[in-house]
Amino acid sequence: MSETEILTRIDGRVGRITLNRPRALHALNLAMCEATTHALLAWRDDPAVVSILIDHAGERGFCAGGDIRMIAESGATDGVEARAFFLAEYRLNHLMFTYPKPITAIVDGVVMGGGVGMSEPAAVRIATERTTYAMPETGIGLFPDVGGGWFLPRLPGETGTWLALTGARLKAADTVALGIHSHFVPSETLSDVIDAVIRAPERPDVAAQKEAVEPAPSPIAPHRPAIDRLFAFDTVEAIFEALEADGTEWALAQRAILTTKSPQSLKVTLRQLRAGRKMSDFAEVMAMEYRLGGRVVRTHDFQEGVRAVIVDKDNAPQWSPATLNGVSDADLDALFAPLPVGEEWTPLD
Residue 17, beta-bridge partner list? 8, 54
User: Which residue in 61, 79, 109, 114 is the catalytic one?
Assistant: 114
User: Which residue in 15, 61, 65, 66 is the catalytic one?
Assistant: 66
Interhelix angle for 190-199 vs 204-211, to 10°? Answer: 150
User: Which residue in 55, 108, 137, 289 is the catalytic one?
Assistant: 137
Active site residue 137: yes
Active site residue 205: no
Chain length of the chain: 349
Query: In 200-299, which ranges are continuous DSSP H helix?
Result: 204-211, 224-230, 236-246, 249-258, 263-278, 282-296
H or E segment and range at residue 63 = strand 61-63
What strand order describes the sheet that includes 103-107?
A: 6-11, 14-19, 51-56, 103-107, 124-127, 183-184
Active site residue 66: yes
CA distance 132 to 140: 18
CA distance 36 to 191: 22
Q: Which residues are catalytic?
A: 66, 114, 137, 145
